[in-house]
Amino acid sequence: MLIRLIGVAIVVVGLVLKFDTIATVVLAGIVTGLVGGMSIMDILTTLGNSFVSQRTATLFVLTLPAIGICERYGLKEKAIDFIRSIKSATAGRVIIVYEAIRTLASAFSIRLGGHPQFVRPVVVPMAEGAAVAKYGEINDEMQDIIRGGAAGAENYGNFFAQNCFMGSSGTLLIAGFLSETLGLGETGAIALEVAKWSIPVAVISMVLGVIRNIWLDKQLDKANKGGNK
Amino acid sequence: MTAAQILGEVFYTIIGLVFVLVGVKALKDDGCSKKITTAAFWFLLAFTFICGPWVPKWLVGAAIVIMAVLTAIGGVVQTKNDVPDPKEVRANADKFGYKIFIPAGCIALVAVVGATIGSKVPAFSWLTANNAIGLSGMVALCVAILLTKCAPKYAAVDGARLMDNVNTTGILPQLLSALGALFTAAGVGEAISYYVSMIVPENNILIACFVYCLGMALFTMIMGNGFAAFSVIMVGVGVPFLINNGANPIVVGALGLTAAYCGTLCTPMAANFNIVPAALLETKNKYSVIKSQIPFAIAMLLIHVVLLYTLAF
């Protein structure tokens, strides 16, 4: 029984030790097949068969040319303009507004770019600006709270809303698995259903984000009283 | 072949051509010392997409193995891209304003509307959900070109640029679905469920929901990769303990991946999301992003257990 799990062990060890992901996955597949008594030709055939039938999981490539042109014509710049135009009183609220935009964009598969293009140049300066206006100056602890919170909001919006789009790679992975392993039908049709069932999590994530960042303002109040240590 | 399948192959061929473009771009980059191996990777990938259905499948399998060797030796890198000039982008942004969101919005809209029509109206049965996704990309591209009046060659230039940015990780979901199938064929699911059943009392749905969500999150924390955790835990816990006990497979699948993401929020292994941003934002504590995310992640994970228990059964 235990020997059958060697593929799982290879994936775990390979990824923990930061070996190349694709090579790790392929190696895990081959070794699992060998242990399961398959011949090399069987393994290559099984691998090739599922890879070809799983091409759906890579359909997102077809959306790249359109997105690329939109980027060339100012998609990210306009998103930044929009966020800058919003006046928010506290650091927490600035982060809430960003998370709302990120969640919406993610659900519509609009790639805003994340930490380097958005959080550092736009969200953090705005949130810290709001904090300076409120508290006069901000100490190191407050700075870490704001920056950690802003980076987190980017992750929440990105992770928990992306599956609402039926063509996102995560949704297609889930649908591909259900189609290939359980024989549930065409991947795309399942993907549409998976996308629908991903909406509750996206909404809840946004609600939790609001609570998290109201609490963030409280954390700042407390850290402000502590003074600069 | 049905009309739906033919259209599907047309879309896969277009994807294959995008890979060819990335490969050709690599060959033209004389400053890159790994241009041959990089191009080889993309051409092999294009081969599996364009010729895959028509050749013996072991050939595709062999191509995948060679691609894995190429990435393992670090032979696949990003090559020189035609990056738009920031000043030009700013000028374009001022000129087109918020209208630039129209093509981007088209993608999600056309995909959902198309798939719905395709499943309801018999005359549009060729418009399967897969094809609707492909169609949405093409419609958005046409709208983008009409709106910006840019030279159509930018569809190729920018498509290849973004594909190169996504790089080899772009095929990971596809590869992991294939791995899931191989795991199932080799009996990995039975082995995991054999050991899990030692801890989980049989037919206790609530505990099974908890083990499934927690398993997703923990495996992701160890491996730093939610997609990989999904394939393993789905085979070992999701199918035998939930789906085979009557859970709605769609709900189990949808909640599984986001439960895995709760783990992503808590682990330094997911460096791109947690450690790199902390460095980028120059926080004093390099774990400040993780520290900030842990309460959210725990709350979210518990909510997942509740949602799974109530929605899937």
Separation CA A154–CA A151 (nearest Å): 5
Residue pair A167/B111 in contact (Cβ under 8 Å)? The answer is yes
A37 and A144 part of one domain:
no
**Local confidence band at A229 (pLDDT 50, 70, 90 cut-offs):** very low
Provide the percentage of residues in chain A whose pLDDT is more than 90. 43
Q: Judge: A1–B195 Cβ closer than 8 Å, yes or no.
A: yes
A158 and A80 part of one domain:
yes
Residue A118 lies in a domain: yes
Cβ neighbors of A27 (< 8 A, separation 6 or more) are: A10, A14, B68
> For residue A123, what is the DSSP state?
I
Separation CA B281–CA A144 (nearest Å): 9
What mean pLDDT value characterizes chain A? 88
pLDDT at B178: 81
Separation CA B226–CA B216 (nearest Å): 8
A118 and A140 part of one domain:
yes
The answer to whether B14 contacts chain A (CB < 8 Å) is yes
A91 and A6 part of one domain:
no
Shortest Cα distance, chain B CAs vs residue A106, angstroms: 11
Task: Name the residue of chain A whose CA is nearest to B136's CA.
Answer: A63
Residue A181 lies in a domain: no
Q: Judge: B172–A21 Cβ closer than 8 Å, yes or no.
A: yes
Q: Judge: B277–A151 Cβ closer than 8 Å, yes or no.
A: yes
Contacts of B62 in chain A (CB under 8 A): 44, 48
The minimal CB distance from A201 to the residues B133, B171, B255 is found for B255
A28 and A94 part of one domain:
no
Phi/psi of residue A42, nearest 5 degrees: -60, -45
Over the Cα atoms of chain A, what is R_g?
A: 22
Of A11, A30, A53, the residue that ends a domain is: A53
Q: Judge: B234–A22 Cβ closer than 8 Å, yes or no.
A: no
A138 and A35 part of one domain:
no
**pLDDT digit string (tens) for A135-178?**
988 899 999 999 999 999 999 999 999 999 988 889 999 998 89
Residue A173 lies in a domain: no
The answer to whether A94 contacts chain B (CB < 8 Å) is no
Separation CA B262–CA B300 (nearest Å): 7
pLDDT at B147: 93
Q: Which domain holds residue A39?
A: 1-53
* Range with the poorest average pLDDT among A88-97, A206-215, B5-14, B68-77: A88-97
Map out the domains of chain B as residue ranges.
3-72, 86-150, 187-311
The answer to whether B289 contacts chain A (CB < 8 Å) is yes
Provide the percentage of residues in chain B whose pLDDT is more than 70. 100
Contacts of A112 in chain B (CB under 8 A): none
Residue A177 lies in a domain: no
Task: Name the residue of chain B whose CA is nearest to A63's CA.
Answer: B137
pLDDT at B200: 79
A29 and A94 part of one domain:
no
> For residue B74, what is the DSSP state?
T
**pLDDT digit string (tens) for B88-146?**
999 999 999 989 889 888 888 888 888 888 888 888 888 888 898 899 999 999 999 99
A35 and A65 part of one domain:
no
Coil vs helix vs strand at A148: helix
**Local confidence band at A227 (pLDDT 50, 70, 90 cut-offs):** low
How many domains does chain A contain in total? 2
Contacts of B195 in chain A (CB under 8 A): 1
A211 and A114 part of one domain:
yes
Query: How confident is the model over B17-31, as a mean pLDDT?
Result: 94
Q: Judge: B103–A177 Cβ closer than 8 Å, yes or no.
A: no
**Local confidence band at A113 (pLDDT 50, 70, 90 cut-offs):** low
- Mutate: best of B5, B95, B149, B182, partner A, most A CBs <10 A: B182
A141 and A99 part of one domain:
yes
A65 and A122 part of one domain:
yes
Over the Cα atoms of chain B, what is R_g?
A: 22
**Local confidence band at B15 (pLDDT 50, 70, 90 cut-offs):** very high
Residue A98 lies in a domain: yes
Contacts of B171 in chain A (CB under 8 A): 22, 58
Q: Judge: B57–A49 Cβ closer than 8 Å, yes or no.
A: yes
Provide the percentage of residues in chain B whose pLDDT is more than 90. 57
Residue A150 lies in a domain: yes
A25 and A137 part of one domain:
no
